[in-house]
Amino acid sequence: MKELVGMGLEEQESCGTRGRRALTINTTPKKKEEEDEEVERLTEPLSPAARLFHQPSFNCHIVSIMGMSKRIDVDTVKAGLEETLVRHPRFSSVLVSDGSGDGKERWLRTKVVIDSHIVAPNLEVDTCAASSPDELVEQYVSSLTTTTLPLSRPLWDFHILNLRTSEAEAVAVLRVHHSLGDGVSLISLLLACTRKTSDPTSLPSLPESRRRPTARSGGGGSRLLPAFVASAWMVLLLVWRTLVDVLLFVATSTFLKDTVTPLKGKDGVQFRRKRIVHRSLSFDDIRVVKNAVGCTVNEVFVGLTSAALSRYLGRRYGEIDDTAEDKSTFPANVRLRTTVLVNIRPNSGIHELAAMMEGHGGARWGNRIGYTILRFPIVKFEDPLDYIRKGTETAKRKKNSLEAIFTYASGALIVKLFGIKAAASLCHTMLRNTTVSFSNVAGPTEEIGFYGHPLVYIAPTVYGHPHAVTLHFQSYMNKIKLVLAVDESTVPDPNRLLDDFVESLKLTKDAIVKNSS
């Protein structure tokens, strides 16, 4: 696939000091105050998290694959990007340094040359080592994971693949450096560039987050004491769980490692090529499971992942027949955990982001993320619903903890006291000692168009971090797109892992039907 990497990607280079432009400031006494004021207006310092994502071991890029229901008009997309994304401060800034070597990088506003960010290769199945358009698109996206965005221009590009696949008439790929923002903010920004196909003037509708109903006490002084006791108990429980999570986090960042399984990546996995595959799941099936167990959609994802990973590992360890009396052949007490990135800053809505790109108001932006560590039970349950119940228990437990806030605050403190390299080393060890990355993002509830091109699916993921397996769930209309980004030397059969998710969901739904009858 070297020929694919070369199609419009000749300028790609390593995201280190090479290509970084030095910010030169004239400091003559007469004009120093005026020039300092101008520099402050045009530049903004990088946040600690943004600096982290530029370290060699964390050179992370977010990739969002979008299937379209019609061929993509390149000129229309260019015009649309210039009216929206290019107007965003991060997407119209380059990374600069003052040349002192002390890590004082800043974002500098610049003029965006849109043609430098658009890549529209002429792909033909017959001329490449691919048996189908789907495989060719997969190879092309995989080739992107071997390159990095050059620092000589704003850190994003947009690839247009006018090739008909089994799911779409054309495919577009938006690649963004993770230092520009966290995943949730960037997906929200992408959606702010879209409009409803039913009403081209309206922004997409996102599902409302609903909290579980809480018990309410009625009036009367006799109930004040029980309410106070319950509140005090909840505070103590929050403190205790946070303390436990913090101790486990510190242990993971130093010595506590996951069990070495066929899903565990080897050293240097962040530098290796990733294969990105995806599969659509029915949102109706997810809702059936959610309603039957009485949990949230996210908790269903946690339980479903536990079931699928257990199924996959069982097969990799030699369990072929699921109906055999022998429960499993994988080791007992397998420790397999995920590192979940949590957005600490309240996420700006797509309306605020759309207004920002139009020059009205200033939505919150940036990388303010903490980490939380979640364990996936690797077991063989007779009842498929037990995976969902266990996942619900695990996810609820993590919600009653301040682990993510602690990790964000401690990370910022480490950067301040010991520097970005120390923080990067600590985060790298923590990720290396866990096994997978896991996330999910809620998408629009009805069909949307990207500059007049109706979207069939959205499949985001990330590469450049030290995990061999990255799992992402993205909802859109009545589907859930499950996206896997894997190191093939670790997971040579990612489509079989996708099959395990599909089969686990089917078995869970069948168990619900059986129990109800």
pTM: 0.84
Residue of 178, 278, 428, 467 marked active site: 178
Q: Which of 94-98, 281-285, 341-345, 438-442 tops mean pLDDT?
A: 281-285
Give the dihedral sign, CA 375/380/386/387.
Answer: positive
Question: Does residue 92 form part of some domain?
Answer: no
Question: What is the structure's pLDDT at 22?
Answer: 35
Question: What is the structure's pLDDT at 419?
Answer: 86
To the query of whether residue 178 is one of the catalytic residues in this protein, the response is yes
Strands (E) in 377-516, as ranges, are 436-441, 448-450, 453-463, 469-476, 479-486
State yes or no: pLDDT of 358 exceeds 70.
Answer: no
Question: What is the structure's pLDDT at 388?
Answer: 96
If one compares 366 and 336, the residue with the highest pLDDT of the two is: 336
Question: Does residue 185 form part of some domain?
Answer: no
406-445: b (≥16 Cβ within 10 Å) or e: bbbebbbebbeeeebeebbbbbbbbbbbbbbbbbbbbbbb
Total count of domains within the chain: 1
Within 10 Å of residue 322's Cβ, how many Cβ atoms?
Answer: 12
Q: Indicate the average pLDDT of the chain.
A: 83
For 319, the domain range is 227-275+287-348+360-440+488-516
Question: Does residue 17 form part of some domain?
Answer: no
If one compares 302 and 516, the residue with the highest pLDDT of the two is: 302
If one compares 318 and 355, the residue with the highest pLDDT of the two is: 318
Q: What is the pLDDT averaged over residues 367-386?
A: 87
> pLDDT tens, 12-53?
333 333 333 333 333 344 454 544 444 445 678 888 888 888
Question: Does residue 506 form part of some domain?
Answer: yes
Question: Does residue 302 form part of some domain?
Answer: yes
Question: Does residue 474 form part of some domain?
Answer: no
Question: Does residue 176 form part of some domain?
Answer: no
If one compares 212 and 454, the residue with the highest pLDDT of the two is: 454
Question: Does residue 209 form part of some domain?
Answer: no
